[in-house]
Amino acid sequence: MNKPDLTVDLSGLQLSNPVFTASGTFGFGEEYEEYVDLDRLGGVMVKGTTLEPKQGNPTPRIAETPAGMLNAIGLQNPGVDYFIAEILPKIRDYEFRTIVNMSANTIEEYQKLAEKLSKPEGIAALEVNISCPNVKKGGLAFGTEPEMAAGVVEAVTKNTDLPVITKLSPNVTDITEIAKAVEEAGSDIISLINTLVGMKIDIDKQEPILANTIGGLSGPAIRPVAVRMIYQVAQAVDLPIIGMGGIMNSRDAVEFLLAGASAVAIGTANFSNPRVTMEIIDGIEEYLCEHGYDSVQEIVGRAIK
């Protein structure tokens, strides 16, 4: 039997297979070089990048919850110029597609980031983060108001020729409203979900565990929310979706594809099992073989009724 076709075309963003690593969970890729055959990954969404370097939040930045974790890193990163000068040259020779996740406090900053990131060779797409719950300015606010979300997407799409992925926040009443707004504003792809806003309290000290008080919940605990939102958004817009949120193995990944995602991104699972992305690529292929499909595209949205 022929091997099924795992290639994916997301509005012009070509991938060898539908498996990405999610931003903030895989560094710049190199960190996992010893565990993973990086060339086999479809794409790497690198750590959230800002115009200026950011120190991030004080510690503790992480807390465990039932089948999940909370983080409040606060976008610690070396800044876009450092990324372009020092990091990109080291990762651009890998076969994976490099997606730069960008975060900003103002529309103008998003615009400047888009301009800067569109010049160098080796960036395949921009992921616009309008949904970080861990920064004071901008952050989540951009992702919860359809007009503001659209404003950011317009500013980015006007200043780049790269495919634009908009990463949506699940911390909204109606996810389809935001999805439609970013579609109209010119986004090429949608990725969802970012973390859910959560909190954990140390009952002995009687105070919040995270120095930032609240953080973003990720891991298998949030998976049903992600599946539901992908299912809804897939029916509300015509854009391809990259689904993420608590995918731990290939069966979870297939669930996201069936819900309407054309590709998936693996986040927190990398911490638990650094080899997980390789297992997921193999597992998706096995699933397609077992069920007699010729390509991964055939199962996208198949569970929608």
Partner 1 sequence: MSKQIEGEILANKQLNESDYRLVLSLPELVDEIKSGQFLHVKCGPGLDPLLRRPISVHQYNQDRGEIVLLYRVFGKGTKQLAKREAGKKLDVMGPLGNGFDLTELENKILVVGGGIGFAPLMALVEKLVELNKEVMVLLGARRKEQLLCTDKLEKLSVGLKVATNDGSAGQKGYVTRLVEQELDKDKYEQVFACGPTPMLKAMQSLVNTKDIEIQVSLEERMGCGTGACLSCVCKVKVENDEGFEYRKACTDGPVFEASEVILDE
Evaluate the CA torsion angle 206, 211, 214, 220 in order and state its sign: negative
The residue from 5, 62, 107, 303 that contacts partner 1 (CB under 8 A) is: 62
The interface mask with partner 1, positions 72-111, x = CB under 8 A, is -x--x-----------------------------------
Is 32 or 94 the residue whose CB approaches partner 1 more closely?
32
The interface mask with partner 1, positions 170-209, x = CB under 8 A, is ----------------------------------------
Binding segment (CB under 8 A) for partner 1, from list 83-91, 172-180, 265-273, 291-299: 265-273
Binding segment (CB under 8 A) for partner 1, from list 11-19, 95-103, 107-115, 273-281: 273-281
- Exposure on the CB side of residue 60, measured as CA atoms within 13 A: 16
Q: How many residues are recorded in the chain?
A: 305
Q: Give the C-alpha separation, 29 to 270, whole Å.
A: 11
Q: Which residues are catalytic?
A: 132
Does an H or E element contain 70, and which? Answer: strand 68-71
Query: How far is C-alpha 131 from the chain's CA centre?
Result: 10
Q: Give the C-alpha separation, 276 to 148, whole Å.
A: 36
CB of 292 to partner 1, least distance (A): 31
- At 243, list the tokens: 């689904």
CB of 25 to partner 1, least distance (A): 6
Burial class (CB in 10 A: 0-12, 13-18, 19+), 90: exposed
- Contacts with partner 1 by CB under 8 A lie at 24-27, 31-32, 34-35, 47, 55-56, 58-64, 66-69, 71, 73, 76, 219-220, 248, 268, 270-275
